[in-house]
Amino acid sequence: MIVFVNRFTVTGPQADFESAFAATSEFFRTQPGFLRHRLLKHADEPGAYVNVAEWEDRASFERALAQPEFATHRAALRELGTGEPNLYTVSQERAA
C-alpha cells in the first residue's frame, strides 16, 4: 500500500475548494487501485487542509494521475490554493 499525503493552503473560498476537492475525490474513487481518502480541515487554522489517500500501490496512483481527466481537477484545485504532495509507505500502524 502507498499513502498519498497532500497539505493544502487554501487562498480562495473554502467552500469552492471543498467542492472542487469533492469532484476530484469522486474521480479518484473510480480509478483502479484507489482504496480510501480523508480530507482533514485544520481545527484552528483557516484554509489549512490535509488530504490522506490510500492506494493499493504506487503504479495505480501514478496511472490515475496520468489520466487526461485529472488535468482539469488539478487545475481547479491549483486555482484555489497550493499543495505540498508526498508519498509514504506504512511503517507502523495500530488500532484500538
Q: What distance in Å separates the CA atoms of residue 76 and residue 19, rounded to the nearest whole number?
A: 10
- Across 69-78, average pLDDT: 96
pTM of the full structure: 0.91
The per-residue pLDDT for 40 is 98
pLDDT in tens, 8-58: 999 999 999 999 999 999 999 999 999 999 999 999 999 999 999 999 999
The pLDDT value recorded for residue 54 is 98
Instruction: Give residue for cell 471543498.
Output: 18
Distance (Å, rounded) from C-alpha 7 to C-alpha 86?
Answer: 9
Q: Taking Cα atoms as reference points, which of 48, 41, 77, 53 lies closest to residue 5? A: 53
Interhelix angle 70-80/58-66, nearest 10 degrees: 90
- The domains found in the chain, sorted by start residue, are 2-44+57-88 (3.30.70.100)
pLDDT level of residue 92 (50, 70, 90 thresholds)? very high
C-alpha cell at 45: 487554522
